[in-house]
């Protein structure tokens, strides 16, 4: 196969040291990236039925690390690396989840000739995987274990690159040459400690911070994967690909999507095409806002040192959240947090909360040693926190398990979930956004944590031309196949309208479904940065299709791609169902049903239709109704072809997607929707 | 294996700054004679060549490091994506995550006034295209794959590129022969790398930049900022 795909996926078993090849063509129907990764996960981890899918540290855990077909072709923003598997981070159960990271790993992996690398098993001793074109070696990581992520990458670059002088020489590989250096994804001490706060780090500040997959690397004794490639990626229409780029640049910049105001040369938050290395807070402008501002109010130097420590230790800037990017208020919160409560809880906030209410501190009910609680807001505390977690020293042992599990250990879980002191909308996973973006909240619940998908938040905001209704009419033409229904974008949350056309109605189910189907195909599988596309106010869906067709040569329509997205989402649902997901387990945390649940919004709020009129409203008082959410589930399950009772995909639905084998497995294990 | 390893032991270490002198004119008879002993150096270069009418200059501070130019280069010349075949190399990920401005090296063919690749080509494959603005190009039909041009290039890393699938050398031709580029290339056209660069860090110029030092090609391409009146009492914009 060609045109965007290398045609093969490496399967590496760390228990047996066996390295085999999977034919990408077998999975091409799932698009690429995450879609193929999820399908491989089903085939290798779910279908055999030898593993209950509960423990992410089980050697049978299969971890697909995938690139999309548009990576390494010159298509901008499409080079993200996808990772999926059982997440150590989610709570109370470890759910099937996915994450992705930017940087250049996927690009280099494809140039080395691989559409993905699937890791399974567990090495007896620490190892790293060295991929140089078609040569794959499992190397000893004895000298790397214990190093931070920057040291690890430096060491591997030296080992792979030999004496090549950076920026001065080409490195000879076989009969090829490259000026590129190995691209490496690795873990730091936090991942080695199998902390659920662990991220995968690539480069200086690119991280897969959702899901805690760094801990899975740690459990597999896998320190790093390095890829070096000098190969070629074919594409169907190179001229068309370049013309698409120029068409996209026609507006003066490649910057589109949710954060369009960030322009060339600005201090944007994107570690890819929109990065600005002149900021110089990091190498190459890498890192994302959530990591940059891990310590935000102590000046630039302390801020940079704190986020550097976060990256070097390999911790997730989300799971180890200290102060929110977006702050709100909680009724009854201690004075210290007045108007400063992060929209979603981070472990740092929770520590301070417990300290403020007097239950955590030196010699207290929850002993804070070795953390210097009196320095909570200082750089020294951040460093002590990372050190304690990575050594699991003192309170660090509980913290390494994440907020919910720590709260459970301390006997505070129910109390603090109920009060809203622990603000995890669903599945115990830290995020950064929910209400009033209701579609974001529903994605939390239907998935396994923060969807981290901004596609609609600006598009439904205050109109930049014409009336709100006209703006929504334009938007409703783009949401193929659910077109011409502007009530999809109605965020009415109170009274009869909420059920009739608002957030508990069948209309809202369409908006949520569209967002999942789009994200599953275009962001997770074609690997477009979700900050980059969709660009619903302007270029979507034209630009996606221009790139897709130019690279792959496929004749699919946009509706076809959305259908593939729905197929991937249905398969994801099937995996979740196989380890216990059902209507009963799918719910929000108690605080989401109480005043104070809403956070904040930008871009003029959300559109609300009431009394026959549309208005933009920031809806700060929004909270959810239990019966309403239950009614929403009924509408949503029906739209997706899942059964009403359990939310399980039916045989008819699965077979319409060509997933008969999946239906057979589910039926055999009593999990098929009826 | 790094190219440096070949010469290990007998090579005199040459600092990059010293090595990156332009076109080889003042170079370095010493450096070349050690690292590349066979081809003649610029100092020994007898013939004079008509100057190219097109040069790509760049702003290494403006570059994002996205490598779009590299992918564009291979796409327009070969119809596929292979940065290793790109005739412009953006080298990033400096060791130990060195910060700006040392994090990225832009390696752009200089269309040297004294082109050693042309001087040392034994078959005339590397030549001055008189009919196309004197751009220095390699005729792959004539190339015998001796790699003399690779060794001759005084820049580090070398700007001539080895194509392992054809066993021949190539170099930047300002997109004169770019079958997959929908626009006119050459010194009077639009080289793909320049047109596709999202940060406008590349520019086609028609006067030869100073040849003596690398900085002759690394120029300020930041567009002039529109002058706006600052309200009294408001702070000045932070420096980039």
Calculate how close chain B gets to A33, using CA atoms only, in Å: 19
Q: Please indicate, yes or no, if residue B201 is contained in any of the structural domains.
A: yes
Calculate how close chain A gets to B164, using CA atoms only, in Å: 6
- % residues pLDDT > 90 (chain A): 73
B66, B83, B198 member nearest A249 (Cβ): B198
**pLDDT tens track for A138-159:** 999 999 999 999 999 999 999 9
- In the structure, what pLDDT confidence band is assigned to residue B1 with cuts at 50, 70 and 90? low
Calculate how close chain A gets to B99, using CA atoms only, in Å: 5
Structure confidence at residue B37 (pLDDT): 42
Count residue pairs from A and B with Cβ separation < 8 A. 185
Overall domain count for chain B: 1
A179, A204, A245 member nearest B91 (Cβ): A179
**pLDDT tens track for B182-223:** 999 999 999 999 999 888 899 999 999 999 877 799 999 987
- Top-confidence residue, A277 or A24: A24
Q: Please indicate, yes or no, if residue B10 is contained in any of the structural domains.
A: no
Q: How much is the average pLDDT of A16-27?
A: 98
- In the structure, what pLDDT confidence band is assigned to residue A653 with cuts at 50, 70 and 90? very high
Calculate how close chain B gets to A233, using CA atoms only, in Å: 5
Q: Show residues of chain B in contact with A176, CB under 8 Å.
A: 84, 162, 164
Q: CA-to-CA distance for A62 and A570, rounded, in angstroms?
A: 19
Answer whether B79 sits within 8 Å of A76, measured CB to CB. no
Coil vs helix vs strand at B29? helix
- Top-confidence residue, B12 or B135: B135
Q: Please indicate, yes or no, if residue B190 is contained in any of the structural domains.
A: yes
Structure confidence at residue A332 (pLDDT): 65
Long-range contacts of range B172-176, CB-CB < 8 Å, 24 or more positions apart? B172/B56, B172/B73, B172/B87, B172/B88, B172/B108, B172/B109, B172/B111, B173/B87, B173/B129, B173/B135, B173/B136, B173/B137, B173/B138, B174/B54, B174/B56, B174/B111, B174/B135, B174/B204, B175/B76, B175/B77, B176/B129, B176/B132, B176/B135, B176/B137
Q: Show residues of chain B in contact with A238, CB under 8 Å.
A: 75-76, 79-81, 180
Structure confidence at residue A95 (pLDDT): 97
Give me the CATH number covering residue B35.
3.30.70.20
Q: Please indicate, yes or no, if residue B222 is contained in any of the structural domains.
A: no
Nearest CA in chain A to B106: A167
**pLDDT tens track for A284-333:** 667 666 777 788 778 888 888 998 999 999 999 888 888 765 666 666 66
Torsion of CA A431, A432, A434, A436, to 10 degrees: 180
Distances (CA, A) of B92 to A104, A207, A523, B2: 11, 18, 26, 17
Nearest CA in chain A to B66: A273
Q: How much is the average pLDDT of A408-433?
A: 88
Calculate how close chain B gets to A245, using CA atoms only, in Å: 7
Q: Show residues of chain A in contact with B221, CB under 8 Å.
A: none
Q: Please indicate, yes or no, if residue B234 is contained in any of the structural domains.
A: no
Q: Among 3.60.9.10, 3.30.420.10, 3.30.450.40, 3.40.309.10, what is the CATH number of A8-228?
A: 3.60.9.10
B2, B71, B158 member nearest A73 (Cβ): B71
Answer whether A164 sits within 8 Å of B164, measured CB to CB. no
Question: Nearest to residue A99, comparing CAs of A318, A325, A344, A420?
Answer: A318
Lowest mean pLDDT among A76-85, A494-503, B121-130: A76-85
Q: Show residues of chain A in contact with B85, CB under 8 Å.
A: 232
**pLDDT tens track for B53-111:** 999 999 998 888 889 999 999 999 999 999 999 999 999 888 888 888 888 899 999 99
Q: Please indicate, yes or no, if residue B94 is contained in any of the structural domains.
A: yes
Q: CA-to-CA distance for B15 and A134, rounded, in angstroms?
A: 35
Q: Show residues of chain A in contact with B192, CB under 8 Å.
A: 242
Domain ranges of chain A: 8-228, 319-419, 438-668
On whether the CB atoms of residues A418 and A593 are closer than 8 A, the answer is: no
Q: Please indicate, yes or no, if residue B129 is contained in any of the structural domains.
A: yes
Distances (CA, A) of B173 to A80, A373, A405, B25, B88: 32, 63, 61, 21, 11
- In the structure, what pLDDT confidence band is assigned to residue A337 with cuts at 50, 70 and 90? low
Lowest mean pLDDT among A116-130, A483-497, B190-204, B221-235: B221-235
Answer whether A242 sits within 8 Å of B94, measured CB to CB. no
B66, B75, B96 member nearest A242 (Cβ): B75
Q: Show residues of chain B in contact with A283, CB under 8 Å.
A: 93-94, 97-100, 103
**Residue carrying the six token digits 């209410």:** A357
Structure confidence at residue A262 (pLDDT): 37
Number of Cβ within a 10 Å radius of residue A325: 17
Answer whether B82 sits within 8 Å of A111, measured CB to CB. yes
Structure confidence at residue B239 (pLDDT): 39
B75, B98, B99 member nearest A74 (Cβ): B75
Answer whether A180 sits within 8 Å of B91, measured CB to CB. yes
- Top-confidence residue, A502 or B5: A502
Q: How much is the average pLDDT of A11-22?
A: 98
Q: CA-to-CA distance for B169 and A513, rounded, in angstroms?
A: 52
Answer whether A277 sits within 8 Å of B103, measured CB to CB. yes
A72, A162, A273 member nearest B1 (Cβ): A162
Q: Show residues of chain B in contact with A181, CB under 8 Å.
A: 93
Q: Show residues of chain A in contact with B105, CB under 8 Å.
A: 166-168
Indicate which of B72, B77, B81 best probes the interface with A, i.e. most A CBs within 10 Å of its own CB.
B81
Lowest mean pLDDT among A511-525, A637-651, B141-155, B213-227: B213-227
Backbone torsion region of residue A17, taken as left when φ is above 0, otherwise alpha when ψ lies between -120 and 50, otherwise beta: left
Omega before A481 within 30 of 0, i.e. cis: yes
B2, B74, B79 member nearest A162 (Cβ): B2
Q: How much is the average pLDDT of A214-242?
A: 98
Q: How much is the average pLDDT of B22-40?
A: 40
Answer whether B96 sits within 8 Å of A168, measured CB to CB. no
Q: Show residues of chain A in contact with B89, CB under 8 Å.
A: 179
B5, B75, B105 member nearest A238 (Cβ): B75
Structure confidence at residue A635 (pLDDT): 98
B1, B4, B66 member nearest A273 (Cβ): B66
**pLDDT greater than 60 at residue A266:** no
**pLDDT tens track for A443-481:** 999 999 989 898 998 889 888 788 999 999 999 999 999
Q: How much is the average pLDDT of B106-131?
A: 97
Answer whether B164 sits within 8 Å of A174, measured CB to CB. yes
DSSP A521: I
**pLDDT greater than 70 at residue B4:** no
Q: How much is the average pLDDT of A218-246?
A: 97
- In the structure, what pLDDT confidence band is assigned to residue A265 with cuts at 50, 70 and 90? very low
- Top-confidence residue, B9 or B113: B113
Calculate how close chain A gets to B116, using CA atoms only, in Å: 18
Interior angle at CA A209, CA A208 and CA A210, nearest 5: 100
Lowest mean pLDDT among A266-280, A366-380, A602-616: A266-280
CA dihedral (A654, A655, A657, A662) positive or negative: positive
- Domain covering A438-668, topology: 1.10.599
Average pLDDT, rounded, for chain A: 91
- Quote the domain boundaries for residue B47: 16-216
Structure confidence at residue B102 (pLDDT): 87
Q: How much is the average pLDDT of B152-161?
A: 96
**pLDDT tens track for A57-71:** 999 999 999 999 999
Calculate how close chain A gets to B30, using CA atoms only, in Å: 18
**pLDDT greater than 50 at residue B13:** no
B84, B92, B192 member nearest A178 (Cβ): B84
Q: Show residues of chain B in contact with A285, CB under 8 Å.
A: 64-65, 100
Answer whether B81 sits within 8 Å of A157, measured CB to CB. no
Answer whether B1 sits within 8 Å of A172, measured CB to CB. yes
């Amino acid at each position: 196969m060609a045109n965007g795909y290398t045609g093969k996926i490496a399967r590496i078993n760390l228990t047996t040291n066996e390295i085999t090849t999977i034919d990408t063509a077998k999975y091409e129907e799932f698009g690429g990236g995450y879609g193929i990764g999820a399908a491989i996960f089903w085939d290798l981890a779910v279908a055999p039925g030898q593993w209950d899918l509960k423990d992410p540290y089980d050697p049978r855990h299969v971890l697909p690390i995938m690139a999309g077909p548009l990576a390494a072709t010159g298509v901008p923003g499409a080079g993200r690396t996808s990772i999926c598997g059982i997440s150590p981070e989610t709570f109370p159960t470890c759910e099937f989840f996915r994450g992705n990271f930017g940087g250049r790993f996927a690009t280099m992996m494809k140039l080395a000739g691989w559409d993905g690398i699937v890791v399974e098993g567990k090495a007896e001793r620490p190892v790293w995987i060295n991929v140089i074109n078609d040569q794959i070696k499992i190397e000893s990581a004895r000298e790397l274990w214990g190093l931070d992520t920057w040291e690890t990458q430096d060491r591997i670059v030296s080992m792979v690159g030999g004496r090549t002088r950076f920026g001065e020489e080409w490195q000879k590989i076989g009969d090829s040459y490259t000026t590129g250096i190995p691209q490496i994804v690795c873990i730091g001490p936090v991942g080695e400690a199998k902390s659920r706060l662990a991220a995968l780090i690539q480069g200086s500040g690119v991280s897969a911070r959702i899901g805690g997959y760094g801990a899975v690397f740690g459990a597999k004794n896998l320190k790093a994967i390095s890829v070096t490639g000098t190969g070629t990626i074919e594409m169907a229409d190179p001229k068309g690909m370049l013309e698409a780029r120029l068409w996209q640049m026609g507006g003066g910049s490649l910057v589109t999507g949710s954060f369009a105001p960030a322009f060339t040369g600005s201090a944007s938050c994107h570690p890819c095409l929109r990065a600005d290395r002149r900021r110089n807070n990091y190498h190459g402008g890498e890192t994302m806002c959530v990591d940059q501002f891990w310590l935000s109010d102590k000046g630039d130097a302390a801020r940079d040192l704190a986020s550097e420590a976060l990256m070097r230790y390999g911790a997730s800037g989300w799971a180890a959240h200290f102060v929110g990017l977006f702050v709100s208020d909680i009724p009854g919160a201690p004075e210290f947090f007045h108007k400063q409560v992060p929209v979603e809880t981070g472990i740092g906030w929770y520590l301070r909360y417990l300290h403020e209410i007097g239950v955590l501190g030196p010699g207290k009910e929850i002993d804070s040693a070795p953390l210097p609680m009196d320095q909570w807001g200082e750089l020294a505390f951040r460093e002590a926190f990372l050190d304690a977690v990575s050594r699991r020293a003192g309170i660090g042992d509980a913290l390494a398990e994440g907020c919910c599990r720590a709260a459970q250990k301390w006997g505070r879980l129910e109390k603090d979930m109920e009060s809203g002191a622990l603000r995890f909308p669903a599945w115990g996973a830290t995020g950064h956004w929910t209400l009033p973006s209701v579609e974001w909240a529903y994605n939390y619940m239907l998935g396994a944590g923060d969807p981290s998908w901004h596609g609609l938040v600006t598009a439904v905001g205050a109109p930049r031309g014409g009336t709100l209704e006209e703006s929504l009419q334009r938007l409703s033409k783009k949401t193929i196949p659910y077109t011409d229904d502007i009530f999809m974008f109605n965020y009415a949350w109170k009274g009869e309208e909420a059920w009739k056309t608002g957030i508990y109605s069948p209309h809202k189910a369409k908006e949520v479904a569209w967002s999942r189907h789009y994200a599953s195909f275009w962001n997770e599988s074609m690997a477009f940065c979700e900050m980059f596309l969709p660009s619903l106010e302007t270029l979507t869906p034209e630009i996606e299709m221009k790139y897709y067709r130019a690279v792959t040569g496929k004749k699919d329509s946009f509706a076809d791609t959305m259908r593939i997205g729905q197929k991937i989402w249905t398969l994801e649902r099937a995996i979740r169902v196989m380890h216990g997901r059902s209507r009963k387990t799918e719910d929000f945390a108690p605080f989401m049903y109480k005043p104070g649940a809403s956070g904040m919004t930008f871009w003029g709020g959300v559109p609300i239709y009431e009394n026959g009129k549309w208005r933009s409203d920031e809806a700060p008082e929004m909270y959810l109704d239990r019966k309403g959410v239950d009614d929403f589930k009924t509408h949503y399950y029906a739209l997706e072809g899942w059964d009403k009772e359990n939310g399980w995909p039916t045989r008819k639905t699965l077979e319409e997607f060509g997933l008969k084998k999946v239906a057979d497995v589910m039926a055999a294990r009593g999990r098929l929707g009826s | 294996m790094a190219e440096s390893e070949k010469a290990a032991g007998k090579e005199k270490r040459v600092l990059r700054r010293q090595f990156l002198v332009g076109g080889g004119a003042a170079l370095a008879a010493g450096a070349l004679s050690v690292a590349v002993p066979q081809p003649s150096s610029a100092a020994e270069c007898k013939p004079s060549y008509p100057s190219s009418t097109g040069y790509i200059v760049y702003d290494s501070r403006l570059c994002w490091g996205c490598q779009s130019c590299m992918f564009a280069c291979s796409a327009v010349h070969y119809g596929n994506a292979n940065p290793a075949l790109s005739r412009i190399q953006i080298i990033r990920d400096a060791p130990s995550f060195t910060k700006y401005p040392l994090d990225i090296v832009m390696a752009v063919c200089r269309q040297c006034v004294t082109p050693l690749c042309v001087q040392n080509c034994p078959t005339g494959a590397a030549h001055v295209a008189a009919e196309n603005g004197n751009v220095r190009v390699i005729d792959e039909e004539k190339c015998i794959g001796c790699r003399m041009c690779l060794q001759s290039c005084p820049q580090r890393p070398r700007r001539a590129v080895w194509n392992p699938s054809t066993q021949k050398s190539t170099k930047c031709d300002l997109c004169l022969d770019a079958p997959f580029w929908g626009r006119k290339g050459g010194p009077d056209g639009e080289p793909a790398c320049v047109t596709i660069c999202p940060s406008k860090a590349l520019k086609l110029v028609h006067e030869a930049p100073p040849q003596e030092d690398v900085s002759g090609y690394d120029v300020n391409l930041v567009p002039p900022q529109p002058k706006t009146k600052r309200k009294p009492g408001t702070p000045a914009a932070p420096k980039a």
